[in-house]
A and B are shown apart, each in its own frame.
Chain A
Amino acid sequence: MNEPRHHGQASHAPAHFSVGALVANFVALMVLLAATVAVAEIDLGRGNFIAATAIAATKTTLIMVVFMNLRYSKPLARLVACAGFFWLAIMFALSFSDYGSRGWLPNADAAAPVENRYSADGNS
């Protein structure tokens, strides 16, 4: 029977953030929550969407790096974490190139002639 191989190995906690750093991260997240609510009250047109998404992305980064401990994780775990978002970007990019070229988006002017040519007059 094999002996357990951890014998003799010093028991040590994996690298992690201090309690102070975790609390500071939480405070930063709450400040960003207040910021996203405040920014939404100002009419910035398209800027509202950009600001909301940028703040959400910042909060996501803080949660992933500090709370999910990616700061002290191995490169492989970081790579897999990023891969999820990379695949998400592929899904969005391909879907938008599809819908964008079919006249789904109301202001996609470039798509309009294509739609007219193939469907509006019916006799391409």
Chain B
Amino acid sequence: MSEAHSIHGPVAHQFDDLQQQREADELGMWTFLCTEILFFGGVFLAYTLYRLRDEAGFADASGTMNLWLGAVNTAVLLCSSLTVALAVHAGETSRRTMLVVCLVLTMILGAGFLGIKGYEYYEKYEEHHMPLFGLPFIYEGQASPATAEMFFDLYFVMTGIHAIHMIIGMGVFTLLLVKALRGGLLGDYSTPVHIAGLYWHFVDIVWVFLFPFLYLIGARH
């Protein structure tokens, strides 16, 4: 049955068997994710240093964030992690309809997250809390304008690179969806879903830290 997809079967010729290939694929993705941990770690480090320098200022600036949009977005992203995990399960157990449905749901949830994020960016633009592209930055809270500007600089850098990762992830899932619709990615061929899932879950983990650090540290107004 598996030979229908490729004359060589699911195992590339440099591997002894499917299990070895899968372990190599997994190891490669985890190695990449290590570099990603350090990539995001750099901005988390910058955030921590500036926050410790003026904790009250960061708390004040964080208080202007839209907590509910942030919480809803966290829930949306956790839902998408579940649909990815279910997609991996469906691929491994060769249930094609379930795989396609889960991939589509994941992409809808991912697009929902980016839509809410875009609306939040628009809100920040309206409030003049967007210190980008030479836009005027006006802050009327108690924090010093320099601290508030640093908070929003970090907010846009951190959520921006996170959003770019999500867009890349949705591109990957688009390719997987095409393959799944053609009847691929089932059973012995399901490893790509697992590997892409690892990446998506990692991006979810980044948000799990971004949400409390950006939205929840402030006194609410």
- Chain A interface (Cβ < 8 Å from any Cβ of B): 2, 4-7, 9, 11, 13-14, 16-17, 19, 22-23, 25-26, 29-30, 33, 36-37, 40-41, 43, 48-49, 52-53, 55-56, 59-60, 63-64, 66-69, 73-74, 76-77, 80-81, 83-85, 87-88, 91-92, 95, 99, 104-106
Contact = CB atoms under 8 A, between A and B. Distances in A.
Interface of B: 2, 8-11, 13, 16-19, 22-23, 26-27, 30-31, 33-34, 36-38, 41-42, 45, 48-49, 52-54, 67, 71, 74-75, 78-79, 81-82, 84-86, 88-89, 92-94, 187-188, 190, 194, 197-198, 201-202, 204-205, 208-209, 211-213, 216-217, 219-220
B208 A13 contact: no
Contacts of A2: 13
A19 B86 contact: yes
Given A9-B18, A33-B71, A63 B201 contact: yes
A9 to B, nearest CB: 6
B115 to A, nearest CB: 19
Contact of A104 (B8, B11, B49, B85): B49
Given A63-B81, A105-B52, A16 B31 contact: no
B216 A36 contact: yes
B13 A22 contact: no
A68 B198 contact: yes
8 contacts: A26-B78, A30-B78, A33-B75, A59-B208, A84-B30, A84-B33, A92-B48, A104-B53
B219 to A, nearest CB: 8
A104 to B, nearest CB: 6
A41 B198 contact: no
A88 B49 CA distance: 15
Contacts of B42: 91
B212 A40 contact: yes
Contacts of B53: 104-106
Given A16-B89, A69-B194, A81-B33, 5 more contacts: A16-B88, A22-B85, A25-B85, A88-B41, A99-B49
A6 B9 contact: yes
Contacts of B67: 37
Contact of A9 (B17, B26, B31, B92): B17
A73 B198 CA distance: 12
